[in-house]
Amino acid sequence: FDIYYHDFSQNVEEVENIIREELTGPGRLLGYRAMHLKLRQKYDVKIPRDHVYEIMHKINPELLEERRPCFKKKRKKTHFVTKGPDWVFSLDGHDKLMGYQNSTFPLAIYGCMDTASRKKNDVFKSLGDKFKTRGCW
């Protein structure tokens, strides 16, 4: 069954010194998950990931707080403003029906819409390499 036991008994001071060394060098931008992976691959240190987090939090808590996703700056949501009809058009395509190398089911659908009036201007379909106008509204 290939059942084996992980021995996580490591000297905490030794692991802490390795992490301090990495945080002063090129690994200073690593998070705790990447640091855990580096400890396993480079230093062959087998330690649970939550212990790596605790040690890194003890060494430099500000570094881990900066890397948390809730502290990242989000763009402020703004209103979409247009100068009127026929000023900005939105184009979109749907190629998922194409299939492998466009030969199994060669169908693509493209559309153009006015952003002010939300009126659909053009809808194109593609059968292979030829574009034909499907309809204009």
pLDDT band at 37 (very low <50, low <70, confident <90, very high): very high
At 115-135, the pLDDT tens digits run 888 888 888 777 655 545 454
For 106, phi then psi, to 5°, come to -80, 80
Residues 6+ apart with CB under 8 A from 109: 93, 94, 97, 123, 124, 125, 126, 134
pLDDT of residue 137: 46
pLDDT of residue 78: 86
At 62-117, the pLDDT tens digits run 888 777 767 667 778 888 888 888 888 888 877 766 666 656 666 777 888 888 88
Domain locations in the chain? 12-67, 89-127
Matching residue, tokens 């979409």: 80
pLDDT of residue 103: 60
Q: Which sign, positive or negative, has the C-alpha torsion 22, 23, 29, 30?
A: positive
Cα distances (angstroms) measured from residue 83 to each of 4, 80, 88, 114, 118: 68, 10, 8, 12, 14
